[in-house]
Amino acid sequence: MVYVFWIISLLFLYYFLEKRKKNRINELINLIENMKKQNYKIPMKQDDFSILEDEIYKLFIEIVEAKETSTKNSEKQIEYLEDIAHQIKTPITSMLFSIENLEMDFPDNEDVEILKRQTLRLNSLSDILLKLSSLDANKDLMKKEEIRLDELVDYALDSLNLKRFTNVEIDKSLKGNSIYGDFYWLAEALINIFKNADNRPTCDKIVVSSYKNPLYTSLIIKDNGGGIKKENMKKIFKRFYKTPDSNGFGIGLAMAKTIVEKNNGEISVKNENDGASFEIKFYNVT
């Protein structure tokens, strides 16, 4: 009987300790979940788990503080970027005015033409920096409105000055498809994709088409500009990345990607036949 009682006591003790351990583990899980909800109240128990509890609490507080510091630094950088872009606008405007006067006095001077071209390029860069700062600073910047794809593409093309010999073919499929998003920001994204195609020396044709399935509505922009080199395929959407033959700033496609993603979409690219094919998928969620 003594042995039986001893075994039963051990089993009961084991059960008690296991149950206590599981309860404390659940309490630790609840502690982490509460801290995720910004409830930083820590239980005041003293047992074998207390040290682990204290360390979890300290680590979480350090992560929160580091995140807040990082967010503040990012916000300051965005403010500085926007301020710099605004500041350089004033001298650029003054320079363009002076260049117009020089053009009147020296209409055939090649140096004046070069100066004007570079100043306009600088002006474009300041506009791009302002747009980037707006995208980075505002998480809820995008509107949610119904957009017809044919109207969106027409608006983007009307805002561009494509090469004279570039032929743009718009498939009839665009007329029947609509998406939800911010019209003017998405037009900005398309403008950058069209520019990327038109800037390729051999590109003289751009084809725009669309299709829809239960999951998403797709917009496809194909060109015959020779395609993208394999080593550049994964880099072209990175900010400030430029291919050796590019005349841009390396911002357009990165900006297009950011805009599309902020409008509940995704963008991808592949080589097809004699050029590149960009596909934008807008998921059917309003």
pLDDT reading at 225 higher than 80: yes
Could you say which of 91, 110, 137 is where a domain stops? Answer: 137
Give the whole-angstrom CA distance, residue 184 versus residue 135.
13
Are 170 and 89 in the same domain?
A: no
- φ/ψ of 143, rounded to 5, equals -80, 160
Most confident among 56-60, 189-193, 227-231 (mean pLDDT): 189-193
What mean pLDDT is predicted for residues 17-28?
74
Could you say which of 80, 104, 137 is where a domain stops? Answer: 137
What mean pLDDT is predicted for residues 95-103?
86
266-277 per-position pLDDT tens digit: 999 999 888 899
Give the whole-angstrom CA distance, residue 86 versus residue 97.
18
DSSP reduced 3-state for 65? helix
Q: Total domain count for the chain?
A: 2
β-strands 216-223, 205-212 pairing: antiparallel
Domain contains 22 = no
141-190 per-position pLDDT tens digit: 678 899 999 999 999 998 887 777 888 899 998 888 999 998 988 998 99
β-strands 265-272, 275-283 pairing: antiparallel
Give the residue, 108 or 1, on which the prediction is more confident: 108
pLDDT reading at 101 higher than 90: no
What mean pLDDT is predicted for residues 185-200?
89
What mean pLDDT is predicted for residues 215-243?
84
Are 113 and 168 in the same domain?
A: no
| Mean pLDDT, all residues of the chain | 80
What mean pLDDT is predicted for residues 72-100?
77
Are 110 and 170 in the same domain?
A: no
Domain span at 245: 145-283
Instruction: Please report, in angstroms and rounded to a whole number, the separation of the first and last CA atoms in the chain.
Output: 72
Question: For residue 153, what pLDDT is reported?
Answer: 93
Query: Closest by alpha carbon to 219, among 259, 260, 253, 252?
Result: 260
Looking up residue 272, the CATH number of its domain turns out to be 3.30.565.10
Domain contains 163 = yes
Do 177 and 217 form a contact (C-beta atoms < 8 A)?
Answer: yes
Domain contains 129 = yes
- From 95-99, 122-126, 172-176, 186-190, the region with the lowest mean pLDDT: 122-126
